[in-house]
């Protein structure tokens, strides 16, 4: 949905017509459950590697096209990754190597 108010950020749809909300339950995919668990672990008071404010700031920094294309948990994992990079918990090189290792493992599985 296009945001008609140029003073609002793209993600800020509060109060705008968006159609009916369908309050149906659904099963979460395993990766979605893992993203949720990761957020809990990273935000735990003993670690505090991420805050809800950091998560929200990074989600809100997505451009309209990326924001609309991503699902709820895709936005979360993007934001978590950005916070961990910003805080220096992981590096771009480490992230790239891990992604390549996962791709190689998936290729081997067929």
Structural domain spans, the chain: 30-109
Inform me whether the pLDDT recorded for 68 exceeds 70: yes
pLDDT at 37: 96
Decide: pTM greater than 0.85.
Answer: no
Burial class, 60, CB count within 10 angstroms (exposed 0-12 / middle 13-18 / buried 19+) = middle
5-55: pLDDT as tens digits = 666 566 655 566 767 767 777 889 999 999 999 999 999 888 899 999 999
Q: Spell 61-86 as b/e; 16+ CB within 10 A means b.
A: ebeeeebeeeeebbbbbbbbebbbee
Second CATH level (architecture) for the domain 30-109? Orthogonal Bundle (1.10)
- Please, are residues 77 and 83 in contact by the beta-carbon 8 Å criterion? no
pLDDT band at 110 (very low <50, low <70, confident <90, very high): confident
pLDDT at 47: 82
87-97: pLDDT as tens digits = 999 999 999 99
pLDDT at 46: 86
């Amino acid at each position: 949905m296009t945001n008609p108010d140029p003073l609002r950020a793209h993600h800020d749809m509060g109060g705008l017509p968006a159609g009916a909300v369908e309050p149906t339950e659904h099963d979460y995919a395993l990766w979605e459950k893992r993203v949720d668990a990761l957020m809990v672990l990273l935000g735990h008071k003993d670690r505090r590697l991420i805050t809800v404010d950091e998560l929200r700031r990074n989600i809100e920094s997505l451009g309209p096209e990326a924001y609309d294309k991503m699902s709820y948990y895709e936005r979360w994992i993007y934001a978590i990754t950005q916070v961990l990079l910003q805080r220096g918990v992981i590096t771009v090189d480490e992230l790239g190597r891990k992604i390549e290792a996962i791709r190689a493992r998936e290729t081997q599985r067929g």
